[in-house]
């Protein structure tokens, strides 16, 4: 009998945990031909989420729980828990119910057809239209710079064959993003389209800076084009600066008494070139930060407790 692993990361999701569990259980009860496990990883919740998980795990041995010692962030904690799954295929679902559990049979069907990766792709969303438009622009920018094809409106919600999970484990990414890692591995992706519903309860713990951080990490992980852009900017402005200096020098010699350079162009030039230098240093710094994360040897997540794991 094939085994289906379902995984959900959570942090302060007291209002969603029970409903999420109920929906997943109801779906899996319609698939008796499969064995299954449901793995939760909790990122040090403080709102009672842990108590609910303990209660669920005490009455349902399909449910396995990992408690972290602290909040390690959604990416590191999420990947750690996801890699703890043991099924022939692993399905990742967010806890806010914006990833509909009803799509699980569709994922499994595509997987049985031979796809090693099956992703849910948002074709419409009930979220703020402005946010959806910003996300669309973000994916266009990532695709513009990326060396590999990137899939728009993918969050990592989907199914991953055991072979793919083994490759992800070998990759040992320190700050993994599935939507960027899978294209790099080269597996053909099956698509299941869906309309994303609103968050069931509570508010997202992602703020503006979290989204910006994820966007920058995605760009750094998928492309070296910004570094090449820095080189081009340096070459272009070096040529422009040299040409401008030659022009002013010759003009001053020809019109020695009449021409006064003044402070305004000097100040404008200094501040403009200074801002370009800071931008270039920031881009280089992002890549150096990525290198630092990769060479620093430390555990991505420290576990406090496991429940229902053999």
Kindly state whether residues 201 and 253 are assigned to the same domain: no
Distance of CA 199 to the CA centre of its chain: 18
Instruction: Identify the pLDDT of residue 274.
Output: 74
Domain annotation covers residue 185: yes
Kindly state whether residues 273 and 174 are assigned to the same domain: no
Strands 63-68 and 303-307: antiparallel
CB 181 within 8 A of CB 154: no
The string of pLDDT tens digits covering residues 35-82 is 999 999 999 888 889 999 999 999 999 999 999 999 888 788 888 888
Q: Which residue has the tokens 């408690």?
A: 67
> Is the model's pLDDT at 208 over the cut of 70?
no
> Which CATH number does the domain housing residue 103 bear?
3.90.550.10
CB 6 within 8 A of CB 36: yes
Domain annotation covers residue 211: no
Kindly state whether residues 187 and 243 are assigned to the same domain: no
Expressed as residue numbers, the domain containing 264 is 225-295
Query: How is residue 198 annotated by DSSP?
Result: P
The string of pLDDT tens digits covering residues 214-255 is 667 767 676 677 767 777 777 777 777 777 777 777 776 777
Instruction: Identify the pLDDT of residue 60.
Output: 93
Model confidence band, residue 162 (pLDDT cutoffs 50, 70, 90): very high
Structural domain count, the chain: 2
Kindly report the pTM of this predicted structure: 0.75
In a 13 Å sphere around the CA of 64, the CA atoms on its Cβ side amount to 17
Kindly state whether residues 171 and 133 are assigned to the same domain: yes
Instruction: Identify the pLDDT of residue 204.
Output: 63
| Letter string b/e over residues 18-29, b meaning 16 or more CB atoms within 10 A of that residue's CB | eebbebbbebbe
Instruction: Identify the pLDDT of residue 163.
Output: 93
Kindly state whether residues 18 and 143 are assigned to the same domain: yes
Model confidence band, residue 268 (pLDDT cutoffs 50, 70, 90): low
């Amino acid at each position: 009998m094939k085994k289906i692993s379902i995984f959900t990361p959570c942090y302060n999701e007291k209002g969603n945990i029970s409903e999420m569990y109920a929906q997943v259980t109801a779906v899996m009860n319609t698939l008796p031909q499969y064995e299954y496990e449901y793995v939760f990883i909790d990122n040090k919740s403080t709102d009672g989420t842990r108590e609910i998980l303990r209660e669920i795990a005490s009455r349902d041995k399909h449910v396995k729980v990992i408690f972290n010692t602290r909040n390690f962030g959604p990416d590191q904690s999420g990947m750690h828990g996801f890699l703890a799954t043991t099924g022939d295929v692993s399905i990742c679902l967010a806890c806010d119910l914006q990833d509909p559990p009803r799509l699980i049979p569709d994922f499994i069907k595509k997987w049985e057809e031979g796809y090693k990766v099956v992703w849910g792709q948002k074709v419409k969303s009930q979220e703020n239209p402005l946010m959806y438009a910003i996300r669309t622009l973000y994916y266009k920018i990532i695709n513009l710079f990326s060396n590999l094809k990137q899939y728009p409106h993918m969050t990592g919600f989907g199914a991953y064959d055991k072979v793919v999970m083994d490759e992800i484990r070998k990759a040992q990414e320190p700050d993994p993003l599935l939507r960027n890692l899978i294209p790099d591995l080269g597996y053909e992706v099956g698509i299941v389209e869906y309309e994303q519903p609103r968050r069931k309860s509570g508010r997202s713990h992602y703020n503006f800076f979290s989204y910006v951080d994820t966007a920058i990490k995605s760009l750094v992980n998928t492309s070296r084009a910004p570094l090449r852009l820095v080189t081009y900017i340096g070459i272009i402005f070096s040529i422009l600066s040299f040409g401008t200096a030659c022009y002013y020098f010759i003009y001053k010699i020809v019109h020695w008494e009449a021409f006064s350079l003044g402070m305004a162009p000097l100040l404008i030039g200094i501040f403009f070139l200074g801002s370009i230098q800071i931008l270039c240093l920031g881009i280089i710094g992002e890549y150096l930060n990525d290198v630092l994360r990769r060479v620093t040897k430390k555990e991505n997540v420290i576990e406090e407790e496991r429940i229902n794991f053999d």
